[in-house]
Every structure is written in C-alpha cells, then in structure tokens.
Structure 1
Amino acid sequence: MYVKRILIPLFVGLIACGGDDRPRPGELTTVVLWEFGGVPGLRAWVRQAVADFNAARSDIQIELEFRDWATQRESLISTTIVGDGPDIVRVHHKYSVEFGELGGLYALENFPDFPEVKERILDNVWELVEYDGKHYGLPVTMLPFVLAVNTDIMARLGLEVPKTWDEMLALGPKFAGTGIEPFTMPGGVNLDTAYRFLPLLYKAGGRVFNEDWSAAAFDGPAGQAALEFLVEMKNKGYLPAGSAAYRFDENAAHWSTGKAALSIEGPWWQDIVQGNYDFDLNNLALAQVPGPAEPLEPHPSRTLLDVIMIAITGYTKVPNEAWEVVKALDLDHPVWRNPNPTMGGIPTLKAAYAEGVQSDYIDLDQLATAGANGLGWPGHPAITQIQRHIADAVNMALTGSLSPKEALDFAAEEVNEVLSDY
C-alpha cells in the first residue's frame, strides 16, 4: 500500500490537534539536528561547527544527534506520523520526493531569501530535491561516480586509461600472468552492486524507468549491453573471481592492495583508500566512467550522481530558526568553499569551483565534470526496493544463474509489480 494513504490523514490530524509551542520573543530556541551517517571527517566538522555556532549565538542553540545511515526512511516515517522529531535532517536526496509529497519536509520556497540561496548552488543538483515545483532540501554535497585508476599499475603495463567498454575489454590480455585484474566492482546481493551498474546504464543512454515512471526501463538495450559487458569481463577473468560476493569493503580492499587497476567509485575513494588501507595517493587518478562508443538509447549519456541534502522537517515549530541554522552551517560556512576529501563528497556551492580555489582533492576537475553531467536515482518512494532488484539481477548474471537478458527481464517484472502499487 502506498505509504501516503496512511501518513497524510495521520499527519493532518496531528497538526490539527497539536498545541502552539512555537518560540516566543526573547526566549532561547533549541533546534534539533539529526545527522544520518557521514564519514569521520564530516562528523568531526559537524561537531565543531555546532559547538562554534552555539558559542556565538545567544538566541538559538543546536541540539545535535548522530543517527545510522540505514535508518533514514524509517526515522522519517515515524517522526512524520507522530508529528514530532528533529527540526533539521541531513539525508539522501531521494527522500525529498516521498516526504515532500507527504508533508514530512518543509518547502524552501517558504523562505523569502530562497531565490538568492538557490543562485549560489550548482543548477543541475536542484532537480534531485524537487517535487511538484518545490524544493525540499538544500543540496550540500554531491557524489558523482567516476573511474578510480591505479596509475602505478597502468604505467608499469604501459596502458592508457580506457574511455569505452571496448577499450576496457582490450586491456584484459595485457594483464595476463600479472595476478592483477583490470577491473573490480562489488557484485554481491547488495546496494553497492546496483550503484556500480547504474553509471554504466546511464553512460549507455539508459534509464531506470520509462518517462512516466509506470514501468521499468533498465532492461532495455542499454541495460542489457551494460550487463553483457560486465559478464564478459567476468567470464574472461578481467574481474576478481570472488567479485560476485563483494560488497564495498571487499572491493575497496582488493583495489587498494594493488590487485586491480580500475574501479567505479566517487569522491569518498581518496579518503577511504588512504585512511583505511594506507594507499599511496601518488598512484591515484580519476577519470570519467567508460561507456559504449555511442549511446544505445535516445537519452544523453550521463553518469550517476548522489546528493546529500540538509532538509527542514514539515512538523518543525521553528522553521525560521532552523533555516538560520541551515544557512550558517551548510551554506555560509567556509568549509563548503574549499572541496575537502575528508568530507566524503564535493560541495554543491558554485564558489567552490571558482578560479583560484585550492583543494586537496585529486583530479577535482574530473569530479566536477562528472557532477555537472550527473543524474541521480529516480526519487521514487520505493527506490531502495527497486535498487535491490537491480542488484539481484546483476548478481544472478555474474554468477551465471541467468543470462543478462533473463536476469534483467526478471528484475523488471518484479519492479513493475512494485510500481503498480503507486
């Protein structure tokens, strides 16, 4: 059953019977901030930024709580039902559509200065937090998917970074006898797998759904070609033998220990491979994700883009104070004007890419190019369930349980059943 059938009546009823506990002039206002997930560098920054804000302000104090990344949707559902919870949340952009529609998030158009704020953020990321013409979160960091390259391996073998799938396949024989695979990726039954398949689908001109989101489209020519490419890489030994069981951690360990040259990753990779595996960053480069020589469907070639947004909840009693906090921490703070690898993503602020900006990111230009050409997962309420079906299809094809076409067709049938409920 579509969750809005349950939530909207409850939400409206709770608002109708709720008391007026909005802040009164002269009183200290507490703004509750829930931070979901986050790499260690981001968490450390948030703690310090909140402490600095609280020390500088006598009218607003932030109450900070860190929450597990995997509990975002459940937390938003429960707090929306009861009409009580945090005033601000840092979450994945995909929840803007579902909870914007339900009233669980607050439209930024309610703030008079939103047009000026909107102008300071990169244009293409706003579509990811939009529902029905309104925006339900401030896009703060973006995570475009790119190709991570071990330049030491490529240089020792005298190889160029591939730009197409055919060029990736052509690399394979050059690795014979080295004990190193050209490419590695998570291929297990997990969302990491879906997140590596989608950049290839988008590069080939494919999309997850048809135009009106009434049916799956990832099983079309682009999806089949992408999965056939991965299966060919696997069958020829150009992927690790155990990759069909890999999650993110196994894949990161395989690449970081010099056992594979290429992997599809993003702005988190630099900090992860250095911090967790002591990888020499002199041997890391980034490039665009390869695709077919020409798109296979009538859509432009894109790459996958995730966005982390900071959003104000629809039931907050202190929206104006929450907006002050959002702007202070996630718009005006200088950290967003200098792309920082320890933050887990690159900023969406236009000023971060102005001439003369210094950054410790390796190949920031490649990340920025991918970000400008990025396309997110569709903001469908059941997108996590749909991602699991796609991951299952990739895994079944990589293990040989089904052919690429059979696996995608089966997943599409499952997804179409999901879509029929909405």
Structure 2
Amino acid sequence: MTHRIVRATALTGVALLALTACSSPSAETEKPVDGEAKGEVTLWMYPVIRDEAASKSFWEDTEASFEKANPSIDLTIELQTFDKRDEQISAALAANSGPDIVLITPDQAATYLNVGGLLPVDDAIAAERDVFYPATLDAATFEDELYGVPLFQNVFTTAYNKALFEDAGLDLPKTWDDIRDAAPVLAESGAAVLDYVGSPEQTLNLTFYPLLWQAGGTVFSEDGTEIAFDSKEGVEALEFLVDLKKEGGIPADAATQTTGIEGSPVAAGKVGIRSTTSPAELAQMRAALGEDAVVVGPPLKGEAQATYGNPGLLSLTSINKKENRAAAYEVLSFLTSADFQTELNATAGNFPTRTDVEIAGAEADRAAYEAALEVANPGEPNPAARQVMAVLAPYIQAALRGDISAEEALEKAAAEAQAALDRS
C-alpha cells in the first residue's frame, strides 16, 4: 500500500511559510570517500520507556554502544516529552535547526512530509526491508517512498473473562456472529458480552475504527481526499454496536464510558470481552479478576480480521545535511536491527516491527499477540486524521444513546468531516 499526500493543517502558518519557501529537500546521499560513514547525528527520542530513570539510562547506553560500533559517527540522543511535540517539531523544521532523526507517528509523518519536512529512508533498510511486518512499512510509505523506519509497535488484541463464558456454557467468541449469539445469554446474568468505551475523549483507533476495518471499511478513500466511513461497511459496524447496546451486549453506560480498567465494568467482572487490550491492560485485568480467569486470543473477525497497532517511526528530517546522510542511515539501521529491537522491547514492553524478533512476554499470550501483529492496522495516515476523528466521535456517541440512527449519524459526520478534509 502507498499513501498519496494531501494538504495539511497541523503546522502553524509560520512553519508552513518557512518550510514551503525552501527548495525541496534532496534525499541524495554523499558517499564518504573512504567508504566509512562519518558525521554528527542528533536524534529526538520521546518517551518509549515509561520509567524516566530507566529511559535515561537505556538511551545513554544506546548512544555509547552505537558510538563504540561506529567511532566515526557522533550520535546525540536528546530525550523529549510529549507535551507540545507537534509545535516543537514544527518549529525545528521551520528554523531548519534541530534533529536529524525524530520519533513520530504515521499521521505526523503525513503532515510533516506534506510541507517538505521529511526525507525518504528506503536506503537505510534496503538490505533488510523484507523482514519488517508489511503494515509497519505501509504506514510510512507515501508516493511509493518510505519516510520512516518502524522502531517498535504498540498492538492490541482480544482479552476474555473466560469465567463468564464458562459459567454460561459458551465457547469464547471469535467472530461478530459469535458475539451476537452470546450477547443475550450473558445479558440474562447481567453481563455484557463486549466492552466499548464511547467517550469522545478516547481515540477511535481503539474503539470504532477496529470494527470499521473488521467490516471491510476504511476511514478515508485510497487517495486520502474523500471520507469513506459512511459506506455500507461503516453503517454495518455502527449498527453492530447499536444492536448490541439494545440487547445489553455492551455496558449500559457505553456511550459515556471512559478509558481504563480500574473501576470499569471489565474489572467488576461484568464484561466478557475487551477487544483492544494492551499487555499493561491485560495485567490489570488479571489483577482484578484473577490470573487464570483472563485469557487472550487473536483479533475479532467480521468480514475481515483486524485490530489497531501503531508503529513508532524514526523519520529523517529535512534538517539532515548531505554530508551526514550516510551517518544518519547507519543510526536508523542500528536502532531498528533485530538485536536492538529485542533489547528495546524487553525494556519498554512494546512489540517488534520485524518478523525475525521474538515477542516478549508470557508464552501463553505470545500466539495471540503474534496473530495481532499480522493483521494490525496502523490507522490511515492522513494530515486531517485527528480532525476527522474529533468530528466523528460525538456522532457515534449519539447513535449509542439512541438519539440518531447509525446511518444518519455517519451521514452527518461524513458531511462535516469532508468539509474539514477539504479545508485542509
């Protein structure tokens, strides 16, 4: 898959003017005369490891290890915070002063590329491209060029309170049809078959979008210029939720439920399935319900099997100079190697972007998360992705409250979202 570029609104007017006033950056690499990459490379790293002290120690060790292996390259890893990340990166690009490499998300890549802020990185992983999960590369591919090397993945899969299903004499549901069949049975005992967090503050990547993808739908058209979530597949996905709500198949307060396990119907043992569950949330469920009461399985399946899994991308900015290009490629290659990903994932609790790196964690959970990696959707990188999500979320909430039909909700949301996309 390749994404086409559409115009962005995420950067400030000053940044847009400063960047578009520059000539288009060249990806051409000056090869060192002696064949050895040399130069200075600055990397802005954002919190991948939650513990601040552990993060500082890990990246200091990484910097030292890289320089020991590459004595002609001076690598500086600067640890940043998520606070005002967009503004910080935009300002650096506009001033043409800052990091050679930056950790960003796929939708940020679409935005910064649109204003000439990124350089292609195909050459950095040319020898190992085939070992990366295809979806992680697709997420950073625009106009047939790669604009970010996937460093890690966050991926989510299905977690079950198996005791609820065992007590009801039911097998664990794997498909939408299974869920529909189980819903009235569990409802008789006062339990919902499926969790749903309907608060607009929650990202749709973890709530409605996986259902949309499972129905065979998409958020945007293939070229990124049209809204597509109001398709028959989109209506089917929202009607699936609305119908479940009517028969007690999702929690009564699903329309306003906020994220989190603690204090939720899941933790109270009143929900059978949490369909997008991270390893950290899985641990919380087991702490609340009992270690043996919770199991994980592959992502749910409607017309298709799908879940959300977003890669963290190491992208090369237009700040990087030709004389440091080969050195930057060496950094990208080192940090996304099999050995380094193994070490990073063990420390940070993330998942690999390479098929030759073993998934960390309990052996009983690995098969489920491996299946999730195979069908993980990184979202649909688009500069207007966040604006569109903000438009759509309240309409889904309204449909769940019964204020509006699923079809009308998506029709109205699509009209507003298309206007926002057109403006961008």
TM-score range, shorter chain: 0.7 to 0.9
Alignment length (residue pairs): 398
Deviates most, 128-137 or 282-291: 282-291
CA, structure 1 residues 252+339, in 2 after alignment: closer, same or farther (shift >3 Å)?
farther
Q: Does 1:85 align with 2:89?
A: no
**Which amino acid counterpart does residue 335 of structure 2 have in structure 1?**
L
- 1:17-416 superposed matches below 5 A: 31-38=41-48, 40=50, 46-56=55-65, 57=67, 59-68=73-82, 71-109=84-122, 111=123, 113-176=124-187, 178-249=189-260, 253-266=264-277, 269-274=278-283, 278-279=287-288, 280-292=290-302, 295=303, 302-317=306-321, 318-336=324-342, 340=346, 343-353=348-358, 359-360=361-362, 362-416=364-418
Q: Matched residues in 2 for 1:32 and 1:85: separation?
A: 8
Q: Matched residues in 2 for 1:32 and 1:281: separation?
A: 44
Q: Is 1:257–1:277's contact at 8 Å kept on the other side of the alignment?
A: no
CA, structure 1 residues 283+122, in 2 after alignment: closer, same or farther (shift >3 Å)?
same
Aligned-pair CA distance for 1:399: 1.6
Q: Is 2:152–2:345's contact at 8 Å kept on the other side of the alignment?
A: no
Q: Matched residues in 1 for 2:235 and 2:41: separation?
A: 48
Q: Matched residues in 2 for 1:116 and 1:330: separation?
A: 12
> Helix, strand or coil: the match of 1:351?
coil
Aligned-pair CA distance for 1:29: 6.5
Q: Is 2:388–2:421's contact at 8 Å kept on the other side of the alignment?
A: no
CA, structure 1 residues 118+369, in 2 after alignment: closer, same or farther (shift >3 Å)?
same
> Helix, strand or coil: the match of 1:271?
helix
Q: Matched residues in 2 for 1:140 and 1:54: separation?
A: 16
Identity of aligned residues (%): 22
Aligned-pair CA distance for 1:277: 7.5
Aligned-pair CA distance for 1:409: 0.6
Aligned-pair CA distance for 1:212: 3.2
Aligned-pair CA distance for 1:82: 1.9
> Helix, strand or coil: the match of 2:127?
helix
Q: Deviations over 1:257-307 (max 9, x none)?
A: 4231211214xx222342697344433322234344xx3xxxx65444322
Q: Matched residues in 2 for 1:252 and 1:85: separation?
A: 43
> Helix, strand or coil: the match of 1:249?
coil
Q: Is 1:185–1:251's contact at 8 Å kept on the other side of the alignment?
A: no
Q: Is 1:337–1:352's contact at 8 Å kept on the other side of the alignment?
A: no
Deviates most, 390-399 or 358-367: 358-367
**What is the aligned partner in structure 1 of residue 3 from structure 2?**
none
Q: Matched residues in 2 for 1:189 and 1:153: separation?
A: 29
**Which amino acid counterpart does residue 228 of structure 1 have in structure 2?**
E
Q: Matched residues in 1 for 2:274 and 2:284: separation?
A: 18
> Helix, strand or coil: the match of 1:190?
coil
CA, structure 1 residues 281+352, in 2 after alignment: closer, same or farther (shift >3 Å)?
farther
Q: Is 2:261–2:281's contact at 8 Å kept on the other side of the alignment?
A: no
Q: Deviations over 1:168-222 (max 9, x none)?
A: 1221232245443222121011243453111111111111123433322211111
**Which amino acid counterpart does residue 239 of structure 1 have in structure 2?**
I
Aligned-pair CA distance for 1:384: 0.7
**What is the aligned partner in structure 2 of residue 11 from structure 1?**
19
Q: Matched residues in 2 for 1:275 and 1:263: separation?
A: 12
Q: Matched residues in 2 for 1:44 and 1:278: separation?
A: 26
**Which amino acid counterpart does residue 353 of structure 2 have in structure 1?**
T
Which structure dedicates a bigger proportion of its chain to helix? 1
CA, structure 1 residues 128+54, in 2 after alignment: closer, same or farther (shift >3 Å)?
closer
Q: Matched residues in 1 for 2:197 and 2:355: separation?
A: 33
TM score, norm. by length of structure 1: 0.82
- Unpaired runs of 5+ in structure 1? 17-23
CA, structure 1 residues 306+322, in 2 after alignment: closer, same or farther (shift >3 Å)?
same
> Helix, strand or coil: the match of 2:296?
strand
TM score, norm. by length of structure 2: 0.82
CA, structure 1 residues 80+401, in 2 after alignment: closer, same or farther (shift >3 Å)?
farther
Aligned-pair CA distance for 1:362: 4.3
**Which amino acid counterpart does residue 35 of structure 1 have in structure 2?**
M
